[in-house]
Amino acid sequence: MAVPAYALYELPENISFVQGSLIEPIGVAVGTLEKTGAAFGETLLIFGAGSIGLNVLAVARAMGMRRIIVAAKSDKCLDIALKMGAYAVAATKEGDIREIARKYHPEGTDVVIDATGSEECISAAFKIAKRGGKVGLSGYGKGALMNIRVDDIHIENLRVAGAGNNWDMVKRCLALLEDGLIDTSALATNIIKLEDYAAGIKMAEERPRGFVKAIFANKAKITT
C-alpha cells in the first residue's frame, strides 16, 4: 500500500525511532485531555494502564496535573506507571477504587479519564469525579450496550467528553518530543526483529506481565 506524501513526517534528529513509532497514542492522550478540559494543577485519575492510559499519564504530567492515580484491573503494568511518575497506582481487583481516590484526593477528583471502555470503570468514573468535575472517555466499548446511571452525571453536574478520532496530532506530538517535554520510550517494552513477527503478534494477543507495546525493528539500529 502506498503512503501519500502528506502523511509522512520527518523525525527531528533528537527523536529516536522508538519514540517516533509511539507517536499515535501520544496524540490520543493529547486529544483526550484537551477535549475533557483538563488543566494545570488539577487532580487526575486514569482507568487503564495500557498504551492509552500511560500516554495520558505522560501528557498529564507534562501539562502540570497533580496527584495522578493510575488504576487498572491487575497490576501487570502498574510498575511502569510508577516509573513514569504516577503519584499512586491501584489494582481495582484488590480494593475499592472509590476509597483509594478519596485517600489521595480528599476534596474530590477534578478529572477522571477512562482508557478501558469498560462499563464498570465508566460507572466508577462518574462516582469518583467531584461535583462539577470532568470525565473523558477514550476507551472503546467494542459496540457493547451499557447500563449507565445518567443521574450520576446530572445530579453531580459532570462534564463528560467523548475522545475518539484524535487526528492531526503528529506535528504537535513531534514538538513535545523534540523539546523533551515527554518521553514515552519506556512503553516499547519489546523490540522484535521483523522475521520474528509471529512471536510479537502472539505477545500482543496474550499481553504478558509488563507488556505494553512491541516494535518491529532491527535492534542493531535502535536507540532509545
DSSP letter (8 states) at residue 136: E
Q: How high is the pLDDT of residue 2? A: 76
Cβ contacts of residue 208 below 8 Å, gap of 6+?
Answer: 76
Residue 222 has pLDDT above 60, yes or no: no
Give the separation between CA 40 and CA 38, rounded to whole angstroms: 7
Residue 220 has pLDDT above 50, yes or no: no
Give the separation between CA 210 and CA 173, rounded to whole angstroms: 25
Quick one: what percent of the chain has pLDDT higher than 90? 71
Domain boundaries, the chain: 23-162
Residue 221 has pLDDT above 70, yes or no: no
Answer whether 9's CB lies under 8 Å from 77's CB: no
Model confidence over 33-47: pLDDT tens digits? 999 999 999 999 999
Of 204, 215, 217, 212, nearest to 187 by C-alpha is 212
Answer whether 126's CB lies under 8 Å from 154's CB: no
DSSP letter (8 states) at residue 118: -
Residue 82 has pLDDT above 90, yes or no: yes
Residue 223 has pLDDT above 60, yes or no: no
Answer whether 21's CB lies under 8 Å from 215's CB: yes
Q: What is the DSSP string of 154-203?
A: HHTT-EEEE-----S-HHHHHHHHHTTS---GGGEEEEE-GGGHHHHHHH
CATH superfamily of 23-162: NAD(P)-binding Rossmann-like Domain (3.40.50.720)
Q: Which residue has the higher pLDDT, 204 or 221?
A: 204
Q: How high is the pLDDT of residue 195? A: 87
